[in-house]
Amino acid sequence: TGLYYYALQNFPSFNYKEIMPSDDYRGGLLYYNFTAGFYKYLVDTYGLEKVKDFLRETSVTVEDMSKLWDLSAVQQETYSDKYEKVFGKPFDEIYTDWIFSLTKLDYKQGDLIYKSRDTYLNKIDAYKSNLTLLSQKYGPVSSYIGTTIDALTFIDSEGKEKSSAPLTALDVKYDDSGIYALCKTNILGKTVNQLWDVTRNRAIAAGYISAFGIYKGNLYLSAYDTQSMKTIVKGPDFDFQYDGFIRYMDVSENYLAFLTMDNKVIIIDKQSKNIVAMFDNPTMKGPYVKFWKDGVTFIQVEGEYTIPYYYDLKEQKLYRLAEKSLMNDFVVVDDYLYYTSYIPYGKTGGMGVYKQKVQMVPVTLSTPENVKTFTWDIQPKKFTSGNELAFRLSTFIKPVTWIPYYSVVTGDTSITHNFSVIFTFANPENDTFLILTPVLGINESGTNYSFNGFGQYVSFITAKDLYNLSASYFYPTNDYSFNLVLAIDTFPFSYNSHLQGLMTANLRSSEYYNLDTLFNVVGIASAPAIYTENLGVGFGISTDVFSLPTYVQSLLMLSSSDFEELFSLNSAYSFTSLLIGLGTDGSFAGQFDIQLSDPSNYDYDFSTALTLFKDQAELFDGAILLKNSGNTFGLASVTVSSGQDSYKIHALYDHLFLETYLSGIKTYLTVGRLINIPGFFGLDNSGFSGTFYIGVSTSPNGLPDLISPVM
């Protein structure tokens, strides 16, 4: 509920939370937390039975569909929507009531000493004389090229930033011997966690590591076995097995502390390997457990609040460190609590660091030996295997999206109106998708309308650890596309840099096939293409250059418009692409390909996209979302057609773009100017000076995918 409270000034609409724009730091919380929060409000306000009635009312059957054609007075209803029919109020009033109910929340926050908009602060620690923050910063660049600014930031006790370094990690810990980070990677086709000594830039362990601890150079690792469903913890002269999953651990001189998946806090004596303390109540805890003074600290969720606790192992007493608090993580330094929490500033909010005096209030926390708030009810259940195939089929045949879509195509003598509905089906793992889009065309010529025919778009997409694959087909034109990106292996050569072997394939019926851009709401495998038949092998490097996230791809490609000529020497090309995040508000993208047998045959496109405005607007109850707008300036080689002839020019282009979500599909509407540069690199095509253009693209960088000159 704290997330809702700190979003009151920019509360998302019900449609916005389902779109989940990639530049919003709240990410999946928008959908899961806000949806759950709204339905919890309905249950608390109207009762569980009413909500069940509402779910039944909104579950449409075939019989219900047939009733839509019965327009008798008996069937007509005066309700504005199903909410009013069940709850007595229309949706917009109920949604407003929920928002106003959140204003009654009361959090006691300390002094805000550090704030970062559009940022998720994952963890706070103390290291030497500074506080450290592991963070992910979002912005328009997260939409443009799909990256976040991940960093380890050092601030002083007053919130002044001292330094920052790029770091993408699941966890980071500090020791007299240096800084250590647990990072996710892919080794020999397996997604594993790799532990890095950040100070010395060397990998020291890899595997299914769920947590780690470090104390005076001594390393302790927690590894989960998916077969036995047990966790094995190993360290110097230490071997311990836990029946369950350990999601976090910390180490001190004499003890290890575990935070388990089922919300237990367990403290183990290093020498005897005995449990010296355990908090076994089922209340949610986390995300961390840390040693401080003579005991451990942790956070526990209590109603609308997240409360910090300290357990003293010597005194065997539990203390509450704050009341009515909202903390994601905290650390204690010199009797002050420094903690991360939400801030209300900016378009989408963000997170910051608060500071307040520590309270030491003795409390009693219920445990199974001292039951006060709960009881365990464990009953043996006989497991019977189900029909997995039936489950998968029943899941797959239920569409996860059914998005109406309209487009118009202007011809010389007529206009074609295309009406379609995008149906998306997904497997239980959400890594395989089927998209079915029926298309109905209507021709408009003056005052006459005629049926233009029926079309069917079909697309299949799957994304696995080692490969991304997508294929599509359109009837009746028999247009198709096939994209494959295969990751051969990943070599992490630093804690923040990875080299990945790549094999790619991009096969299309035409260079102008663009239906994947229009109808594919999931995304396609981004295999590069020069002509219609393309095969490639090479590598990609993900790293940071001058603290800017950077991705470089270099491929040796075979490309041709004729498959029979694909394996000839004349079809060999070198292809290179580059993506750089320019802070949070801009991006640079470039690509260059050259024919190896004829170096004079090359193409390129280099551009910089900068955000001008971050305002957003929702139209038609959120069916259309307008977000970031900006300017793109670029230099590209362009092929210009004039009658039966075509020739290449070097051109500058500059366009304004508007990020637009139409029923969840993101596109960039552009309007700009293309200017020929006569004599540039020896090309003297002064007969074409340039043109204005409008276009639609999936990225603000580069010339638009769909472009229409406006003379």
Query: 21-24 long-range contacts, Cβ below 8 Å, gap at least 24?
Result: 21/143, 21/625, 21/627, 21/661, 21/666, 22/138, 22/142, 22/143, 22/146, 23/118, 23/138, 23/139, 23/140, 23/141, 23/142, 23/143, 23/627, 23/628, 24/118, 24/138, 24/348
Distance, CA of 516 to CA of 664 (rounded, Å): 15
End-to-end CA distance of the chain: 54
What pLDDT shows up at residue 647?
A: 78
Angle, vertex CA 349, rays to CA 347 and CA 355, nearest 5: 150
User: Where in 270-429 does DSSP place strands (E)?
Assistant: 275-279, 285-292, 295-302, 305-312, 317-320, 329-333, 336-343, 350-357, 361-363, 401-410, 415-426
Which of 190, 207, 698, 189 is CA-nearest to residue 486?
Answer: 189
Q: Rounded to the nearest 5°, which phi and psi values hold at 390?
A: -65, -40
Which of 343, 344, 289 is CA-nearest to residue 311?
Answer: 289
Contact in structure between 267 and 246 (CB atoms under 8 Å): no
DSSP state of 9: G
Going across the sheet that includes 111-117, the strands are 111-117, 350-357, 336-343, 329-333
Burial level of 196, CB count in 10 A (0-12/13-18/19+)?
buried
Q: Which residues contact 77 (CB under 8 A, 6 or more apart)?
A: 85
What pLDDT shows up at residue 138?
A: 94
Secondary structure (DSSP) of 469-493: EEEEEEETTTEEEEEEEEEEEEEEE
Q: What is the pLDDT of residues 550-564, one digit of tens each?
A: 999 999 999 999 988
What pLDDT shows up at residue 265?
A: 94
Alpha helical stretches, state H, 125-280: 140-144
Going across the sheet that includes 149-155, the strands are 119-127, 130-137, 149-155, 161-166
Q: Rounded to the nearest 5°, which phi and psi values hold at 238?
A: -140, 130
Angle, vertex CA 179, rays to CA 176 and CA 185, nearest 5: 150
To the nearest 10°, the Cα dihedral for 449, 520, 26, 132? -150
Distance, CA of 122 to CA of 351 (rounded, Å): 10
Which of 83, 120, 114 is CA-nearest to residue 98?
Answer: 83
Q: Is 328 helix (H, G, I), strand (E, B) or coil?
A: coil
Q: Which residues contact 291 (CB under 8 A, 6 or more apart)?
A: 250, 251, 252, 255, 257, 297
Contact in structure between 187 and 172 (CB atoms under 8 Å): no
Contact in structure between 302 and 325 (CB atoms under 8 Å): no
What pLDDT shows up at residue 183?
A: 95
Q: What is the pLDDT of residues 37-64, one digit of tens each?
A: 889 899 999 999 999 999 888 765 444 4
What pLDDT shows up at residue 74?
A: 46
- Per-residue exposure over 357-392, b if at least 16 CB sit within 10 Å of its own CB, e if not: ebeeeeeebeeeeeeeeeeeeeeeeeeeeeeeeeee
Which of 111, 97, 93, 99 is CA-nearest to residue 5?
Answer: 99
What is the model's pTM? Answer: 0.84
What pLDDT shows up at residue 359?
A: 92
Which of 429, 426, 485 is CA-nearest to residue 459?
Answer: 426
Q: For residue 222, list its beta bridge partners.
A: 211, 233
Contact in structure between 655 and 693 (CB atoms under 8 Å): yes
What pLDDT shows up at residue 60?
A: 54
Distance, CA of 523 to CA of 426 (rounded, Å): 13
Distance, CA of 546 to CA of 340 (rounded, Å): 27
Secondary structure (DSSP) of 572-622: EEEEEEEEEEETTTEEEEEEEEEETTEEEEEEEEEEEEEEEE---EEETTT
Contact in structure between 574 and 591 (CB atoms under 8 Å): no
Residue type, position 389, single letter:
L
| Residue pointed to by tokens 């139209």 | 619
User: Which stretches of the chain score pLDDT less than 70?
Assistant: 1, 59-77, 365-386, 521, 523-525, 642-644, 663, 679-687, 710-711
The tokens of 285 are what? 């805890």
Query: 72-75 long-range contacts, Cβ below 8 Å, gap at least 24?
Result: none
DSSP state of 201: T
